[in-house]
Chains A and B, each alone.
Chain A
Amino acid sequence: DSGVTQTPKHLITATGQRVTLRCSPRSGDLSVYWYQQSLDQGLQFLIQYYNGEERAKGNILERFSAQQFPDLHSELNLSSLELGDSALYFCASSAGALESYEQYFGPGTRLTVT
């Protein structure tokens, strides 16, 4: 158990809909990262937050957005969903802002868009 929790575990929704994925980092960790894992694209970094502020952006679509709240949990919002958004979404946390800190991954949320 990494100490990172993600909810829900599974999500099935229709095209055009909007969903919110939630992540609680390990106790004391200030950084949260979101990743998308799909069969064809592999593991893609989406976005990082550090202590409530956006720190780094990767291959995140404009239809996607995220935020980190004062209690340090984070939410990833996916809107106007398309079939191609079906993937595993992982959250990870680390102690600090720099990537040299070890990242701890949650179990993931499996999103299926039908």
Chain B
Amino acid sequence: GDSVTQMEGPVTLSEEAFLTINCTYTATGYPSLFWYVQYPGEGLQLLLKATKADDKGSNKGFEATYRKETTSFHLEKGSVQVSDSAVYFCALSLPRDDKIIFGKGTRLHILP
């Protein structure tokens, strides 16, 4: 079935380090791909999205490129800040199913 697999956390980095959180997906058809972020005590917020192959989503310094050939949508940021500490969820949606499938989430800790 359709699924999303993302790297397990927690991921701990120092401030200004380079971040990569891996995400791969399995889906029949052509999904839209998303990254959501959940800050402590809050609900999820859409961080970025890509709706077709080779699209790059970007927001707040984060980027992810929809790679159909490797079925991946890795999240990257060049220089992380303490305020980026949160849980990051990779997700996909297929219009035929009318639902979003989330990965298990990756907790990110940024040390000052």
Contacts of A104 in B (CB 8 A): 46
> Smallest Cβ distance from A76 to chain B, in angstroms?
15
Interface magnitude class on chain B: 20 to 34
Are A108 and B99 interface neighbours, CB within 8 A?
no
The main secondary structure of chain B at its interface with chain A is strand
- Name the B residues within 8 Å of A90 (CB-CB): 43-44
Do A2 and B100 have beta carbons less than 8 Å apart?
A: no
Closest A residue by C-beta to B98: A56
**Inter-subunit contact A99/B43 (CB<8 Å):** no
Q: Which residue in B42, B45, B95, B101 is a CB contact (below 8 Å) of A100?
A: B95
Given contacts A42-B103, A108-B43, 5 further A-B contacts (CB under 8 A): A45-B102, A48-B99, A56-B97, A90-B43, A100-B93
Binding site for B on A (CB under 8 A): 2, 4, 33, 42-43, 45, 48, 55-56, 58, 90, 92, 97-100, 102-108
